[in-house]
Amino acid sequence: MGAGSHATLWIFVIASFGGFLCWFIGETVLYSRLFSYFHSPTGALELFPTMAAVYFLQIVNSYVASGAFVLFLHARKRVPWIMGGCTLLFQGYVDAMLLAALSLLAVALVPTSPIRLGLNYAAAVLGAGGLIASFWLLWGARLRTGNWLRWLYERPSMASFRMARPSHYIKLLGIRSLIVLAAGFALYGQFVSFHIGVPLMQTLALTPLIVAIGSSPISPGGIGTTQLVFTLGFARFASKDNLFALSLAVSAFNLLVRVPMGLAMGAPLVEEAVEVESELVTKRKVGQL
């Protein structure tokens, strides 16, 4: 019998689909708020087709997927290319600080969690993040003209970092926190479906690492890295075969649910790409006159 032969399929599907919906809807709200804060009002429904395309492109690489956001910002909001990329960089910075803080919290609440091995790294990331925040919020604008940090502060492309206020940080951190929490509960449901006895607190404690690894660009769709984290992080609670079977099921589900989204929502992305191409052609012709 296979390692996953006794899994309860309906629990796995409900947990996986519920987690996916929470993540997708949550990120749609998150990025609509991000773009509204620093560029122009952006509704969740307006962003929905682009989010679907982003999720499809994440099968290839998270950096490639981010290009769909930059394309949206340029085509719909007239945001310069580099400025759009820096806005995504700001959200990535906020996410890194949150995951580091959650990792430290997990170590404090669940000292036996394997995430304790990353304690020093999480503390370093959070410390560096705090220093960066203080630069943009407090002392960057006070540096003398000619200082290279003042030059960085004044770059037009860094508008999101410069415009961000504590309320923006709090709201974006709050939305992402709810998304990560939902992912933790979905993961717990997946463990239950495979009859793997991982305590809820242990699951939630390791969720920040799973989110960070799963979102990294080092493997397409998180395939490979997800299997590694599952088999090593939860080795105390189940056999390698059962953990590997669950991780494969999770990766397969993520692939299966993303492909139809790309096929259904790819048209708006193509329209934006054609619009940008026409813009570039027009600029080239004007430059030749």
Contact 60, 273 (CB under 8 A): no
Residue ranges in the chain whose pLDDT is less than 70:
1-5, 217, 219-222, 264-289
> What confidence tens digit (pLDDT) does each residue in 101-127 have?
999 999 999 998 888 888 999 999 999
Predicted local confidence at residue 271, as pLDDT = 65
**Torsional sign, CA 203, 244, 62, 267:** negative
Single-letter code of the amino acid located at 206: L
Predicted local confidence at residue 133, as pLDDT = 97
DSSP one-letter code for 144: P
Q: Which of 85, 55, 49 is nearest to 70 (CA)?
A: 85
pTM surpassing 0.85?
A: yes
Q: Structural domain boundaries of the chain?
A: 43-275
Tokens 């429904």: give the residue.
Answer: 45
Express the helix, strand and coil content of the chain in percent, nearest 5 each. Answer: 80, 0, 20
> How would DSSP label each residue in 219-253?
SGGGTTHHHHHHHHHTTTTS-HHHHHHHHHHHHHH
Predicted local confidence at residue 265, as pLDDT = 64
Predicted local confidence at residue 1, as pLDDT = 47
Contact 140, 149 (CB under 8 A): yes
Predicted local confidence at residue 58, as pLDDT = 85
Tokens of 278: 């026409």
